[in-house]
Homo-oligomer: A and B are copies of this chain.
Amino acid sequence: MDTRVVAIVSGGMDSVTLAHYLANLDHDLHLVSFNYGQRHGSRELEMAARCSVDLNADHSIIDMPELRKLIGVSSLTSDAIEVPDGHYAEDTMRATVVPNRNMMMLAIAGSVAIAEEAEFVATGNHAGDHFIYPDCRPEFIAAASAALLIGNAGFSAPHFKGIVAPFLHMTKAEIVQVGDGLAVPWQDTWSCYKGGDVHCGRCGTCVERQEAFALADVHDPTAYADPDFWRGAVEAANA
């Protein structure tokens, strides 16, 4: 039997690439997405659903409606806080931290994995996330994996082997190169934190997206409302 893997797939380019990467290894996939009130949620979740259709994978959306008001201190979940423009390296990007988001997602995906006797939980975290988000760093992924294994030791989950994060030490540009080799449909991935009809091109994740395609030397099929802003933002961040 194929190895069952529960993969956290937001619908962004990293997690969609993760799903294609795992499918290419012939794993039996269950994509799990989360709706925690993020303002770009509907676009992202639509892309995650498309990915599951593309890959003939199971897909579940975990809704956490009350959490929005409880953890709504980030601009990603609160309409009252504006999503800042510019490169991630800027202090203001810290406004996009959703408290403890990865731990919640990994814990819930862990429950699903254990319930359906999957071997792994997979996450698309990568080296580019480390600077801003402590819960994307290798030491956190290791600690969360250890907690899942210790908390489900023995009879309750003999099949479960922990968290895998194949992109943990890759840059976003390297993920684009992996995805290019796997023919990931980039137009069916969503990054923009502002959640409009097209990618804004100006928020941290739009800047990062454009920079990654450029560094990877891969054609970016994405339509951006402002396709020119990113170069200046990257230069300002590196200055």
Report the contact-size class of chain A (Cβ under 8 Å from the partner): 35 or more
Contact of A150 among B101, B110, B140 (CB under 8 A): B140
Which residues of chain A from 15 to 73 have any CB-CB distance to chain B below 8 Å in the complex?
Answer: 60-67, 70-73
Q: Could you tell me the distance in whole angstroms from the C-beta of A33 to the nearest C-beta in chain B?
A: 11
Which of A141-149, A185-193, A196-204 is the contact stretch?
Answer: A141-149
Are B71 and A111 in contact, CB atoms less than 8 angstroms apart? yes
Distance between A34 CB and nearest chain B CB, rounded to angstroms: 10
Q: How many copies does the complex hold?
A: 2
Which stretch from A154-162, A167-175, A205-213, A225-233 is at the chain B interface?
A154-162
A67-B111 contact given A144-B151, A150-B143, A151-B144, CB 8 Å threshold: yes
User: Which one of A94, A98, A134, A154 has the highest number of Cβ atoms from chain B below 10 Å of its Cβ?
Assistant: A134
Per CB-CB distance, the 6 closest pairs between chain A and chain B, nearest first, are A135-B151, A107-B107, A99-B114, A100-B111, A143-B147, A71-B115
